[in-house]
Amino acid sequence: MAVDPDRGLTAEQVELRHKQKLVNKTKKTVTKSYGKILFDNFCNPFNLLLLVITGVMIWGRLSITHFIFAGVFGLNIAIGIYQDVHARILLERLKVLSDNKAVVLRDGKDTEIFTNEIVLSDIIVFKQGDQIPADAVILRGHCSCDESLLTGESIAAAKGPGDPLYSGSFLASGSCVAQVVAVGGDAYAEKLRATASAFARPKSEIAQSIWNITVTCALTALIYGVIFTVIAFVKRHVSLDALFPMTQDGSFFIESLSGSMVAMLPTGMFLLTSVALTTGVIALARKNMLVQELYCIEMLARVDTICFDKTGTLTDGDMTVKEVISFHNYNEAEIAYAISALLHSTGDDNVTARAMKERFGARNKGKVLESLPFDSHKKYSAVCLTDIGSFVVGAYEFAPIKKEPEVELLLQSYEKEGYRCLIIGHSENEISNGVLPKNFEICGLLVLSDRIKPSAKDNIDWFQNSGVTVYVISGDNPITVSEIAKQCGIKKADCYADMSSVKDEDIPELVKTCRVFGRVLPEQKRLIVEALKKEGHKVAMTGDGVNDILALKSADCSIAMASGSSAAKSVAHLVCTKSDFSSLPDVVAQGRRVINNLQRSCSLFLSKTVFAMLVSAAFLISVLCGGPRYPFSTSHMLVWEIFSIGIPSFFLALQPSSERIEGSMMKNIFVRAIPFGIAETLCVAVPYLFYAIAPSLISYNPEEVYKVLVSLCIISFSIMSYGTLLRVCLPLNKYRATVFFTSLVIGILIFVPDYFVRVQTGEHQGEGVLLRFMWGGFAWSAPLILLATLLVATGAYFLIAYFVEIRPKRIKEAHQ
């Protein structure tokens, strides 16, 4: 297709490309498809095993009260699907605000479109900071292209007419016009994504921990079920004749089997994790934060160090030229003429360039022989004009100028007040093939002001009061950055480093003492982040420019602004769609909320799993030795499963929490769950001990003593489950107290009617209609046994918790 490079595609040509499906559509990775939402919420080991168990229970003709756990199971699935769909809709709406756009030439006009609307042969106008959305070939212009996102090589490559631009790379400097030669799946980056593992995200600790727990519990329950069945057949507790057709012995076997297996499964934990994370995504979206990687919420929770860029984070980014000072018989008009020509020819469009454009304009005033766009490594830009010579604008320390002590003193005075200064130099000699003449004469000084954001100090205070160390990493003069950091209340802001004279190998030592880094090169930003990570810190990085990309990629959690460069947004985990970092404290607090609440809720679920595994193992041994079989059914777990775990865990997962996260998730869960599980196991062991020693203390009726014993155990571990819930809710606040006492009252309301409404006839005479255990036949001493059981279990909990949780924490604090 013939395309006029000066007019671009016509409307008819664009329509034809759409019909040919030659459009830049690429695979979306931000949100789940509706099919994946259904698959994730239904098809995990817990759900599949629970569905099988439920089917077996139906076959066993168990009463409806045995299936109440399935209601919670179904409710969890429904909530999980609703939350995932809600998050998808919200994120798709929010994504439109941060989606990258490109300027294309169509019908002779510059038109801004979304990058997924680009078609083959489009003519695109690129400027500094733009990410290449589709493979293209440069038609005119010169630029430096950073291909580190594709190759890992951080050195930008010079590009000119005829050179290729690969999708996924970005313009580090300069500008150009290019024609698209490959779109969508045919583009280089998409082909690489399909074959290279370099694009895979690292696995999350949450995802790995929950998956390990899920698979382990499901396999354990399955293995137990097989062993239980084999022993039952060997001991002749059940036979095929009792199962085909189903008899009373067969129903009792299935009731016992399903009761132990369901108790082993932390039902709802897998789905609750998804709900908690998705709720976090929705909450962040309401704070105008687009989550591009689900498990970055986990990293947010663990962040103990945050690195800010100065411009756009601490300051509002709208710089202005406060003063123009001329030297050596040059005047402001000559300086304005040179800067205007430089801005026009380079096409620079960073914050500093925009401030200079506002003051001097960007017009072609004379023939430009050669120009050099601003380079974040060199920290200057330059232009060569006919009959006038060359001008350089940039940092005093980097620009090739004759150093003058008087100018240095003037610079220092402004920088100590927080101003940014740019030096202007002039030479009669020309720039030759990108090489500047030496010893430019200083002809002027630009003093730029950058207003501190009103919210900056409050944000910094929140982070520092929450145990997060704040660093400032900037390309500006370290004295200027240090002064602004002081005004924002950053601790140790006077400990700064000028990175222009620092060797890479010295950076790991510097990060231990310095909090402010100035004159930082893009590669040095990355090294600073990596040095902090090697010290054991979880590092968040904020940025919006091309010079931040390497550091954003290296950080544990990276946050970019929607108004920033498209390349910065592409590598960030989070994108702030309103380009305002004032919501960052809320973002970190949201991450902490999710992880803290997950750890609390998961410990509730796993305490029952620990209990079930220990008790089931004990009764397997009992059966092998000729003793009683596992006595509990799913209906016996009604209060525990639903009202002290299922419903409270859902509400606890949504509560506010900004406590700092320490230690691994798996360890934090089991440190709480194991003492709980052992204490709850004692609620069965102690009554059985009394039963073995003196059955008459359990019941006055020898024929009902075993049923009464089981009832005593159920009451005991149901009460203990509320002790577990209370411990998880500590320290109580209004929200957690409401969850606990509401759950407790509902549990009592379940016990009370069950006491008064009992089965009147048949084998189950005297049992409650809901909880299905014996309420009558208790000996006068049974309440004392119940009290003794709870005291032993509580004492055991505190003893185990001391050695597992409290003592190690005290030892760690003592060493620190």
Could you give the residue numbers annotated as active site?
309
730: closest CA among 673, 651, 652? 652
- Residue 753 CA, chain-centre distance (Å), reads 46
Beta-carbon neighbour count of residue 35 at 10 Å?
8
Distance CA 658, CA 591 (A): 8
Q: By CB neighbour count within 10 A (0-12 exposed, 13-18 middle, 19+ buried), where does 311 fall?
A: buried
H or E segment to which residue 786 belongs: helix 782-801
CA atoms of 178 and 181, how far apart (whole Å): 9
Distance CA 460, CA 142 (A): 41
Q: Say if residue 134 is exposed, middle or buried (CB neighbours under 10 Å; 0-12, 13-18, 19+).
A: buried
The span from the CA of 588 to the CA of 583, in Å, is 9
In SS3 terms, 360-411 reads as HCCCCCCCEEEEEEEECCCCEEEEEECCCEEEEEECCCCCCECCCHHHHHHH
Residue 563: is it exposed, middle or buried by C-beta count within 10 angstroms (0-12/13-18/19+)?
A: middle
* Strands (E) located in 714-773: none
* Rounded-to-integer distance, Cα 771 and Cα 191, Å: 59
Question: What's the token pair of residue 622?
Answer: 């009992």
Report the alpha-carbon distance of residue 116 to residue 525 in Å, rounded.
31
End-to-end CA distance of the chain: 70
**Residue 602: strand, helix, or coil:** helix
Residue listed under structure tokens 């500006």: 476
For 328, what's the count of Cα atoms within 13 Å in the CB-facing half-sphere?
A: 15
Task: Report the relative pairing of strands 420-427 and 389-394 from DSSP bridges.
Answer: antiparallel
Cβ-proximal residues to 441 (8 Å cutoff; 6+ apart), any chain:
328, 401, 402, 425, 426, 427
685 vs 691: CA distance, rounded Å? 10
Give the other-Cβ count within 10 Å of 623's Cβ: 18
The angle subtended at Cα 318 by Cα 175 and Cα 322, nearest 5°, is 105
Q: From edge to edge, which strands make up the β-sheet containing 574-576?
A: 289-291, 574-576, 557-561, 539-543, 305-308, 469-473, 516-518, 496-498
Q: What residue type is 246 in one-letter code?
A: M
